[in-house]
Amino acid sequence: MQLLKGTPVAHKILEEVAEYARLHTLRLDIILVGTHEPSQIYVNHKLRQAEKVGIHAVLHHLSEHVCTEEVISLIQQLNQDPAVTGMIVQLPLPGHISEEAVLEAISPIKDADGLHPYNLGLLAQGRAQWAPATPWGIVELLLHYGISTEGKHAVIVGRGKLVGTPLALLLSRPANYGNATITLCHTHTKNLYELTRQGDIVVIAVGKPQWFSVEGIRPGAVVIDVGVHRESGKLVGDVQPMVAHVAGALTPVPGGVGPLTVACLLANLTRLHRTQSRLQ
């Protein structure tokens, strides 16, 4: 069984970002609302990694009691600030805040997460210049390890806008990282394991610790575990440990998809900067 470690791939991407940042001034603004512990951990990691590669990172930590309008007001200020190259709003947001309205308020050319409806629309048309970080990180991982998607059956479990839906679009594109046949599964899918056992590549992005069983994997399949959870003091993924005994290749947790998410987010900042420079 081959371990698909994301760290060496992330290092390569970050080296390219650092080289670009030496020549251009880049700034990433992160909006964090509330005290959701996993979000705070993710944000701190993004801030540290940005500074390491020479990107100025600014955190806007808002009270969990702010309203949608206050978050949007801050976003509008950042949209107008020429010093800001790109921004992200750390998800999930508290339940009383409209995630849809907040994401739509971000200028498409400052949308480092690629989650604005305009950018997702370009992705659906195969015209995107940048993509949501985690799906693109998975693409980079497959390319690095020489895992062809051409004509393969990729089964994705999880249809969220952060991972499942954009990844389905990417892997189906007529490109060197695409041309796969996609099955997109979700909470209403019947006979889930019958479908996943057909997959040459199986991506698990359900957000539940050790939820996916070895029964759902056919021997030799490539398994991409997107989940990261803290259980009894250690980090675990969405798949159960026994999957490692059946899969032909598997992303470890930690050290698999996680490092690539941050690296590809920062790489998106260089793409935003290039786009903004062309428009000036």
Active site residues: 46, 90, 113
Distance of CA 187 to the CA centre of its chain: 20
Determine which helix (DSSP H) or strand (DSSP E) holds 223, and give its type and residue range: strand 222-225
Q: Are 199 and 224 in contact (CB under 8 A)?
A: no
DSSP string, 61-89: EE-TT--HHHHHHHHHHHHH-TT--EEEE
The answer to whether 265 touches 112, Cβ cutoff 8 Å, is: yes
Report the side by side order of strands in the sheet with 27-33: 56-62, 27-33, 86-89
Estimate the share of the chain in helix, then strand, then coil, as percent rounded to the nearest 5. Answer: 45, 20, 40
